[in-house]
Amino acid sequence: MKIKYFLLLIVLAIVSCQGNKEFESPNMPLWEITNSQGKSSYLLGTTEYLPNDSARILFNELLISSFDSAEVFLTQIDVANSDFGQTKLALEIPDDKLMKEYLSENEFQKLQQLQKNWKYNGQNSMPAADSTRLKLVFYLHDMIYLNNQSNFYFDKFWVERAMPLEKKISGLETYQSYYEGFQVLSKVDEVNFMNSIQSLDVFVDSLRSSSQALYMSGEFAEIHALYLSLFPYLKAHYQAMVADKHKTWAKKIGESSDSVSTFVTLDVFHMVGKQNLIHELLSKGYNVKRIQ
């Protein structure tokens, strides 16, 4: 198993044009993107699950200087151009149904049982399962990501730094586009995801602790595998929900970096695995080299 994992790391390193250079952990993985004119932009791999103290020790002079040198800051969500009316429609069950009407009796009982045994049950402002119109996958997400505020919010840090520097701030997809991307999921996909969760508390603890440990040790390919394991719909619809996004994002990153120096931050999940974002940038003729 160790031999296979070592070989996998070598392959990923070659694909990402990293050569044989070793990078000490912990650090935030940073790639330099060079266009045909030799202009440099940067791509930073982050995670949602680092406590504040752990995240802050990862910032260094190279990261800050790379960010400060860029004229444009790109993150995943383009807030300014998002339509929250369309977003609301994408979040809700079609035909104005309630969750209780959408699920079968046994499925609804499973959801109620998960919520009943959840440590935050009764200690939040979430609507009751029988009165919500949220799609099942998003209702589960709301429980999974509740109380994530204790973790470091990388986008907030960079936005707050970008504003006084008068950088242009934009994103790769709107909120409505992000949520509309889940329309490829069938009801069976949503229910299978729910049934894969035996306990919300165990699921969340596993997601957070494993993500933190893997990120801090630089095992980014294992983070990719972890997400596919815990969120099986990503694996089932990988082309539509992941690979196709990378093609679109690579085009947008290229368009920006061809004209101005650009600093991009995304979850490191997108930088590894098959048809990853770095692979797409390479296929468009950009030189992509990991520098940290």
Tokens for 2? 């160790």
CA distance 239 to 246: 10
Per-residue pLDDT of the chain (292 residues; tens, 9 = 90+): 334 434 433 334 444 444 334 677 789 999 999 999 999 999 999 998 898 888 989 999 999 999 999 999 999 999 999 999 999 999 999 999 999 999 999 999 999 999 999 988 877 778 899 999 999 999 999 999 887 767 899 999 999 999 999 999 999 999 999 999 999 999 999 999 999 999 999 999 999 999 999 999 999 999 999 999 999 999 999 999 999 999 999 999 999 999 999 999 999 999 999 999 999 999 999 999 999 9
Beta carbons within 8 Å of 103's beta carbon, 6+ residues apart: 111, 136, 191
Quick one: how far is CA 165 from the chain centroid? 26
Contact 150, 53 (CB under 8 A): no
Rounded to two decimals, the pTM is 0.88
